[in-house]
Structures are given as structure tokens and as C-alpha cells.
Chain A
Amino acid sequence: MWGGSAILPSPVALRCPAQRGYEGPVEAALITRESRTPMTGYVIQRCLQAVVVMFAMSVIVFVGVYAVGNPMDVLIPLDAPQDVRAFIIERFGLDRPLWEQYLIFLGNVAQGDFGRSFVYATPVLDLILSRLPATLELTLAAVLGATLIGVPLGIWAGYRPDAISSKSIMAVSILGFSVPTFWVGLILILTFAVYLGWLPAGGRGPTVEVAGVAWSFLTPEGLTHLLLPAVNLALFKLAMMIRLARAGTREIMLTDTIKFARAAGLSEATIVRHHVLKLIAVPIVTVFGLELGSTLAFAVVTETIFSWPGLGKLIIDSITSLDRPVMVAYLILVAVLFVTINLVIDLTYAALDPRIARGHAA
């Protein structure tokens, strides 16, 4: 649906030719769509969409796991005699046809029960929620850090493209893009944990309970545990933020807006803060949101290398043991997460760029 509306001309862009330069087709599409659908209707539409995605996800995972193989062939001990095998398969309902298993699953979900993990015996939702804080703090530290450092660096690199400092920044960003995460992770461990001995090699530090949730970033030792994995995870995102901010800044700097602002005698600092930053904010918010989502759901490599007890490790372990209840619930929740993040991003546009809000009124 994004691609379909992308070919329509953006009314905002037409009204405001000076801004054409930095508006990609994606953003133009968003503005077009938003201007046609009333906000409440739009939110309802998104929620319905989320339900459809959740259904599709559950079917895909059910069929997918079935295609890989019967989880019981992986989980039941190899030496189990025939009667024990039969007993266990029946007990977990895997002797029933797939459609029946799926309907039972749907019935339970309707009552808020996603089932119990084959491996851990605990309700799947509890299992996922218990590991969410660890991933949440790691992800937020990485994505926020990358954005707060990357955007100023990128603006500087775009503002003074020929300075040596800018060129160094861009060189670093290429490294961040091209060096694989697992390798950087191991080198970080090797350097800071094994060789220098400054930081722990892995695991999550002591936690403090705040509002019933255990957080490790609130203790000094927890912070030392958080640092390396967060840096590892942030590196790629940092590079991306730098490139995004730089590209946006370079384009804006050449536009009439900046020329007029300079002619009006505004200071350079004011121009950067009030014009450049605001105008490049929309794509950055988009990427921020999507990165937050994908990192929350799939920080697998970093979590594995740093033995971080988060969601990424849970899902990879669940896949290797064909723990179907966890896989199904997890991927459904990830779908919900992405739908929500996209919605929040769209709503943020309106707040960031008044022109979009005016588009609604029109």
C-alpha cells in the first residue's frame, strides 16, 4: 500500500517547492495518505491490520514448524520406548491433525492463554515478559546512544563536508557498516575484558527492582555489564544515523530556505538548530523507530556473544529446540510491536512537521 500511493504527487511538496529536494517518495506517500484519512479512522484501520498480521503470523509459524519437523522428535529422549513416546505426544496434543492443534491454540489465545513452553513449562507470555527488560535496556541504550551521538556527528559532516574531521567521521561510519557484529563483539571482549580487564566479558550485572521489574542499568556494576554489548549493538546504527543525518543536512544546506535564513542574518547555530535539525528529523524518526523494533526483536548475535539473557537468545534457543509455543507467541508479539511502532512513527510526523498536521485539516 505504500508503494501504491507513492506515485501520487505530494500536495505539500507541490505547495512548497523549496522542500522538494529532501523529500523521498516514502515520506511523500505518508503525507498523501495521512491527508486523506481522518486520524481516528486511520488508527482503527491500523489496529485491524495488526489483527490480520497476527493471524497470518500464527499460521505461518504453525505451518513452518510443522514443515521443519515434529518438535517431539527433537524433544523426546532418543532412548524413550514406544509407549513413553506415545504418552508424551498425546499429552502435548501433537497427535492431533495440524488444523485441530491450530484451532485449539486460537481458542486458548482468545482467552488470553498463549500456551506453555515445551522447554520451560512456564506460560509463554511470562517467559517473554521476564526477558523483555534485559533486551529493552540493551536496545534503548544502543539505539538512543547511536542517535544522540550519530545525528550531531552526521549534521557536522554534512555542514562542513570538506573538513578533515568530517572525513574521519565518514570513515568511521564505513567501518561501522562493513565490519560484522559478531567479530566486533569478540574483539571488544578480547580487548576490554580479557586483555585490559576493565569490563566484564558477558552476562547481565546485578539488578534493582523498580516498579516490579528488574533493571541492571541502575547499578554501577550493571552499567559496566551493559556497556560492551550496547556499544557492539550501537555501532551499525551509529553509522546509519551519521549517514542519514549527513545526507539530509547536505541537501538542506543547498536549499533556498537556508539561503534566505542566512540573508535574514540568522546565526549559523540558529540555522542548524531550527531549520536543519527540524527538516531532517522525519527520516531519522522513521529509522529510529524501525531500528528500535528490529533490535528489540532480533538482537540475536550480540545477545549470544555477550550471554545477555534477553529475547534474541530466547528466540534462537526456541528455534533450535523447536519450542513452538514460544516461537508462535514471540513472532505474533513482534508483529504487534512493529505495527505499533509504525503507528507511533506516523503520529510523530504530525507533531514534528506542522505541514503534515495541516494536511489533515485540509
Chain B
Amino acid sequence: MKLGKLLQAGALAVALGLPVMGLAATGATAQTLTVGVRGGPESMDPHYSALGVHADAMKHVFDTLVWSGDNLQIEPGLAESWKPLDSTTWEFKLRKGVKFHDGSDFTAEDVKFSIERIPVVTGPTTLLIYVRRVKEVVIVDPHTVHMKTDGPAATLPNDFVRLFIVSAKAAKDFSTKETAADGFNSGKATIGTGPYKFVSWEPKGDLVLERYDGYWRGKGPWAKVVRKEMANDSSRLAALKAGQVDLVNYVSSADWQALKRDAKIDTFLADSVYVMNLQLDQREQTPKVYDLDGKPLAKNPLRDPKVREALDLAIDRETMVEVVLEGLGTPNNQLMPKDFFGWSPKVPARKADPKKAKALLAEAGYPNGFKMDLHCTNDRLPGDGAICQGLGQMFAQAGIQTNVNAISRTVYFPAQAKKEYSVFMNGWGTLTGEASYTLAAMAHSNSPELKLGSFNRIEYANPKVDVLLQAAGKELDDPKRKALYQEAMELIMADRAYISIVTLQTVWAAAKGKLKMAPRTDEDTLAFFITPAK
């Protein structure tokens, strides 16, 4: 998008431009936290969307059954403990003494109601993915529930980090497709157990929240929280510099370089859950790889392990981080960020070697390389378009003429779903912090019967990996399951049909000395855990 490019250029102008004069006049009092966020919720109904920015906002008003910590480790939330009873039953013990904003008690009834409500009110960005394994919710007593699953569901507690609990009483009349948005957007049903009470919200506008003094974790540090949606990166930063907001999220890498030298601004940096992956079509025939004259190739070179290794060796991950991302990333060689559940220390680090890449191409029968189209998103994650351009140059150096197509996600994902691409790159966020989420969707062969491999759009199939992933999905013992996923990860990365490049990092910026925060891996900006500096 041309407009996006122009705005990015403008962002630089703002960031590098005039020195900041007046940060003192903060538009808010000490008891108010005003946050400029890139994206806001889509509705005030927590069950409508599974989008990250939606969950971020919802966590202020509602609690999840299982809590996801700063580094996505699972912790007790509204459920105090959980354990599997048999292969298809999980028992959850609920926290006692928790009260909703309207003073009513939180009980098992609310959990059952919330789970059963999701399929009815969900939008297209569906939250159903987090409760799809639940077949039945059995209330044992007001603080014990049994979840009957459709098969062994080892990661059910991980899925429940996005299971928001609404009040069965308040939301009773607002739980159909037609009434849900109305009831929650108006505040009538927006009754949660979270640290903040809902005051007002308008789509793409401000979300205004007020502290809930009866919160079970204790009283929040800010009496009032305002989350202003400011989609444009430079505008959001300008609002921070003008003192209109106290904190902004998603600072771009170019702005970050300038802010590091700015004495009036504090920055906070965290690894994100997003890894950029190159994906290589494994079908017999592939549409976007050509010979040097631009004619389709008789067989798909991407099926040759030597060609895949050559592509891997062509990528200089250090340069990608240092130059393309201006330091905002870490090289990665696996489909998940380092140390996530199922990440394997045994996968060897990847070193760039264009010479060897060329030799491998020659061995594979392409001494002069070939031509290919590389497709990527350019508006989904920070740096995605730039990484794509970088890849194009690196492949060209190894002798593969690469035509780079960095395009909008609105074009990319529909075409990718129709398998129109051969070589493509997009980010993948392991939102639950463990391997089943990522590997089951991407690395298992596509099987609607097993409900596995739904995002495997390159027809990658390794029978050994399939066996391991199926076994891991049923394994309820954590260490054993971890070992299975690690073994699968090692095989997948050795096959190189998926080539991981970098883990992205996220930056927040705040007025100097205003606040302290522990940046979260899932990129949430949770006011309850942000404390005033004084």
C-alpha cells in the first residue's frame, strides 16, 4: 500500500524531527493511565473474537479460567488448580470468594455458561478454537467442574488461557447472535471479575475503564484507565511525545532507534510470540517456480532436500536482524520462540553460506539456479515486508532469481489458502506458548478427520512427524509430551520445508519516569500489572 509507505516515511520524520519540548503537561492525572494502542477490541463481548488486541482489552474487564503469565507460562486464574481424571476428563477447581462487578458470586454455573455461549455468539475470528475440544461441561459442585473432551486433550489448560468468563446472570439475555453485541457494547452485560469495570467504548475509539476495588488479586494501581485506539504508528508516537498518552505499544524499529536516544522517553522491549517462517510448497507441481526463461518447471525443485537446504543456507539471519529489523528480533531456527514448551536445544544453529548453497543447487541439477516468486505479507507484523525484500536479495546472491511480492494480508491469505503460491513467508504466533498449537496446525499432514494440519498449506507430509504429533496430542504426562514434540520439531526443521528466520520483538514506549512494566511475550498491555514509578 502506497499510503502505508508514505506514513512510515512520516513516522521517521516525527521520530527524528524536532526535540521534544513539553512532556510535563501530561493530559492525565497520576491516578489515570492513558494508553495509546494500535488496535482495540472489536466488540465488548469477550467471546466474539480471538484476536490478540481483543483479548488484551478484555483481560481488563474479564478473567480467564487459566492465566497466562508474562512468558506465557500457565498459572492459576479463576481456576485454582486442574488435573486430568481420565483420558477424556479434566477436573478444574474454581477459586472461591471471587465476585463479579455487580457483587454476585462467581461459580461453576458461569464457567459452563461461558463455554456454551461461545459457539452461539462467536464472530469469524472465532474463539471457538480454544474450547472446541470440550464436549460437555459437568458441574460437580459450585466450585468444581469436569470438562468432558472429544478425545485426550493434553493441552486443554493451555487453551483456556483465552477462555473468558462472563456472568451467567448478566449475560443471560445477551447471548444470541443478534443481542450479544448490543448487550456488551452498552455495558449491560459487560460484568466480569477482572480488575477494571467497564465505563464506555466505541469501535475504533476510546475504551474507558474504572478500577474494581473488589478484585481478587487486590486493588489495581490506577483509578482510571483509558485505552485510545490510534492505528497509525507515527500518530501514536506523536501523542506520547505531546503528553496526550502515557504509554504506547508497537513502536516501529525505526522509531525505536530514535527513542533510545530520547531522554524524555522510557522504552520496554520483549520477545514476541511471532516467528517469521518461509514455507516451501511440496506438491509435485508448483505454480510459481520457473526455469530461467520463465517457463514452468517439469518437476518442483522445492521437493529436493538439496534445494531446500540451499535456500536455508542462503539466509543470513544475523544480517536480517541487525540491518533489516534494526536489532528488533532474534535469529531463530524453529517454528516457536526459544524455550517454549517443545522447543528443542538439539536443532543446530543455522549459518549463512551462499557458496555452499550454490554448490548444492548445482548438485541438484540447477547450476544456474532458477526463477521463483516469493510472496509475503507487508501489513500484518512489524518488518514483514522488509524481511521479504531481504530474503529476495539473499536468494539472488545464492543464484536464485527471486521476484519479491510483499502484499497486503487481505490478498495474501485468501490466495495462500487456495495454494496459489510456491514460496511464501508469514509470521506465526504460538499464542499458547506450547508446541501443540503450532505443530498440530502447520506440520501434521492436512487431515480433516483428525482435525490436524489445517494450516499446512504446502502439503508437507512426514509420516514420522504425523505419528509423533498424534501421540503427543494424547499424552497427558508433561515431560513425555515435551520429548515427543521436541523430537517432532527436530525432524521438521531437518526437512526444511518450513524454514524459520527470526523471532520478532515488541517495543513499548512511555513518558520517562511515569511507570514500570514487565513487558509481556503475548504483547498484551495490562494496566493492572503496570505500576506508577513513584
Inter-subunit contact A85/B10 (CB<8 Å): no
Q: How far is the CA of A70 from the CA of B418 in the complex (A)?
A: 10
- CB-defined interface of A293-334 with B at 8 Å, one 1/0 digit per residue? 000000011001111010001100101111000000000000
- A residues near B289, Cβ cutoff 8 Å: none
- CB-defined interface of A181-197 with B at 8 Å, one 1/0 digit per residue? 01100110111011111
Choose from B13, B20, B128, B205 the contact partner of A186 (Cβ within 8 Å): B13
User: How many whole Å from A142's CB to the nearest CB in chain B?
Assistant: 18
List the 7 shortest-distance A-B pairs measured between CB atoms, nearest first.
A69-B414, A197-B22, A75-B124, A121-B181, A193-B242, A73-B414, A81-B451
- A residues near B121, Cβ cutoff 8 Å: 121
- A122-B185, A193-B242, A195-B21 known; A77 vs B235 contact (CB < 8 Å): no
Q: How far is the CA of A225 from the CA of B451 in the complex (A)?
A: 51
Inter-subunit contact A196/B414 (CB<8 Å): no
Inter-subunit contact B244/A193 (CB<8 Å): yes
Inter-subunit contact A84/B417 (CB<8 Å): no
Can you name 29 A-B pairs with beta carbons within 8 Å? A69-B414, A73-B414, A76-B126, A78-B455, A79-B455, A80-B454, A83-B448, A92-B124, A118-B124, A121-B42, A130-B202, A183-B6, A186-B10, A187-B13, A189-B235, A190-B18, A193-B238, A193-B242, A194-B21, A195-B21, A201-B239, A202-B238, A203-B206, A304-B231, A305-B235, A307-B228, A307-B232, A307-B239, A319-B410
Tell me whether A120 is interfacial, beta carbon within 8 Å.
Answer: yes
- B residues near A248, Cβ cutoff 8 Å: none
Tell me whether A74 is interfacial, beta carbon within 8 Å.
Answer: yes
Q: Which residue of A lies closest to B441 (CB)?
A: A79
Q: How far is the CA of A196 from the CA of B242 in the complex (A)?
A: 9
Inter-subunit contact B413/A307 (CB<8 Å): no
Tell me whether A204 is interfacial, beta carbon within 8 Å.
Answer: yes
Q: How far is the CA of A317 from the CA of B410 in the complex (A)?
A: 11
Within 8 A of B (CB), among A104-120: 116, 118-120
Tell me whether A88 is interfacial, beta carbon within 8 Å.
Answer: yes
Q: Known contacts A76-B124, A190-B18; can you find 10 more A-B pairs with CB under 8 A? A: A69-B411, A72-B124, A73-B416, A80-B454, A81-B451, A83-B451, A121-B42, A186-B234, A187-B13, A301-B3
Inter-subunit contact A80/B235 (CB<8 Å): no
User: How many whole Å from A22's CB to the nearest CB in chain B?
Assistant: 38
Q: How far is the CA of A195 from the CA of B22 in the complex (A)?
A: 7
- B residues near A88, Cβ cutoff 8 Å: 122, 124, 126, 128
Inter-subunit contact A120/B42 (CB<8 Å): yes
Inter-subunit contact B228/A203 (CB<8 Å): yes
Q: How far is the CA of A83 from the CA of B231 in the complex (A)?
A: 33
Q: Which residue of B lies closest to A87 (CB)?
A: B128
Inter-subunit contact A78/B441 (CB<8 Å): yes
Tell me whether B349 is interfacial, beta carbon within 8 Å.
Answer: no
- B residues near A320, Cβ cutoff 8 Å: 379, 408-410
Inter-subunit contact B129/A70 (CB<8 Å): no
- A residues near B438, Cβ cutoff 8 Å: 79
Choose from B6, B244, B379, B446 the contact partner of A182 (Cβ within 8 Å): B6
- A residues near B232, Cβ cutoff 8 Å: 304-305, 307
Q: How far is the CA of A356 from the CA of B379 in the complex (A)?
A: 52
Inter-subunit contact A77/B242 (CB<8 Å): no
- A195-B18, A196-B21, A307-B239 known; A121 vs B455 contact (CB < 8 Å): no
Tell me whether B7 is interfacial, beta carbon within 8 Å.
Answer: yes
Tell me whether B112 is interfacial, beta carbon within 8 Å.
Answer: no
- A residues near B244, Cβ cutoff 8 Å: 193, 200-203
- CB-defined interface of B119-143 with A at 8 Å, one 1/0 digit per residue? 1011111101100100000000000
Tell me whether B341 is interfacial, beta carbon within 8 Å.
Answer: no
Q: How far is the CA of A180 from the CA of B6 in the complex (A)?
A: 10
Tell me whether A71 is interfacial, beta carbon within 8 Å.
Answer: yes
Q: Which of A122, A203, A300 has the most CB of B within 10 A?
A: A203
Choose from A182, A190, A203, A204 the contact partner of B17 (Cβ within 8 Å): A190
Inter-subunit contact B414/A68 (CB<8 Å): yes
Tell me whether B298 is interfacial, beta carbon within 8 Å.
Answer: no
Q: How far is the CA of A76 from the CA of B243 in the complex (A)?
A: 37
Q: How far is the CA of A317 from the CA of B51 in the complex (A)?
A: 15
User: How many whole Å from B454's CB to the nearest CB in chain A?
Assistant: 5
Inter-subunit contact B238/A194 (CB<8 Å): yes
- CB-defined interface of A40-78 with B at 8 Å, one 1/0 digit per residue? 000000000000000000000000000011111111111
Inter-subunit contact A197/B25 (CB<8 Å): yes
Q: Which residue of A lies closest to B229 (CB)?
A: A307
Within 8 A of A (CB), among B265-301: none
Within 8 A of B (CB), among A138-196: 180, 182-183, 186-187, 189-191, 193-196
Tell me whether A127 is interfacial, beta carbon within 8 Å.
Answer: yes
- CB-defined interface of B100-133 with A at 8 Å, one 1/0 digit per residue? 0000000000000000000101111110110010
User: How many whole Å from B380's CB to the nearest CB in chain A?
Assistant: 10
Within 8 A of A (CB), among B332-350: none
Tell me whether A82 is interfacial, beta carbon within 8 Å.
Answer: yes
User: How many whole Å from A204's CB to the nearest CB in chain B?
Assistant: 7
Q: How far is the CA of A203 from the CA of B208 in the complex (A)?
A: 14
Inter-subunit contact B242/A307 (CB<8 Å): no
Q: Which residue of B lies closest to A221 (CB)?
A: B27
Choose from A70, A120, A322 the contact partner of B203 (Cβ within 8 Å): A120
Choose from A81, A119, A130, A191 the contact partner of B42 (Cβ within 8 Å): A119
Tell me whether B428 is interfacial, beta carbon within 8 Å.
Answer: yes
User: How many whole Å from A176's CB to the nearest CB in chain B?
Assistant: 18
Tell me whether B43 is interfacial, beta carbon within 8 Å.
Answer: yes
Tell me whether B452 is interfacial, beta carbon within 8 Å.
Answer: yes
- A197-B243, A304-B232, A309-B205 known; A77 vs B7 contact (CB < 8 Å): no
Q: How far is the CA of A85 from the CA of B125 in the complex (A)?
A: 10
- CB-defined interface of B197-215 with A at 8 Å, one 1/0 digit per residue? 0000011111000000000
Inter-subunit contact A119/B123 (CB<8 Å): yes
Tell me whether B180 is interfacial, beta carbon within 8 Å.
Answer: yes
- A residues near B236, Cβ cutoff 8 Å: 307
Q: How far is the CA of A120 from the CA of B286 in the complex (A)?
A: 38
Inter-subunit contact B230/A203 (CB<8 Å): yes
Choose from B48, B410, B446 the contact partner of A321 (Cβ within 8 Å): B410
- A residues near B415, Cβ cutoff 8 Å: 69
Q: How far is the CA of A158 from the CA of B232 in the complex (A)?
A: 41
Q: How far is the CA of A200 from the CA of B241 in the complex (A)?
A: 10
Choose from B119, B230, B243, B413 the contact partner of A202 (Cβ within 8 Å): B230
Q: Which residue of A lies closest to B182 (CB)?
A: A122
- A201-B244, A202-B230, A313-B204 known; A84 vs B411 contact (CB < 8 Å): no
Q: How far is the CA of A350 from the CA of B125 in the complex (A)?
A: 53
Q: How far is the CA of A187 from the CA of B413 in the complex (A)?
A: 36
Tell me whether B45 is interfacial, beta carbon within 8 Å.
Answer: yes
Q: Which of B3, B125, B409, B428 has the most CB of A within 10 A?
A: B125
Q: Which residue of B lies closest to A319 (CB)?
A: B410
Q: How far is the CA of A189 from the CA of B236 in the complex (A)?
A: 11
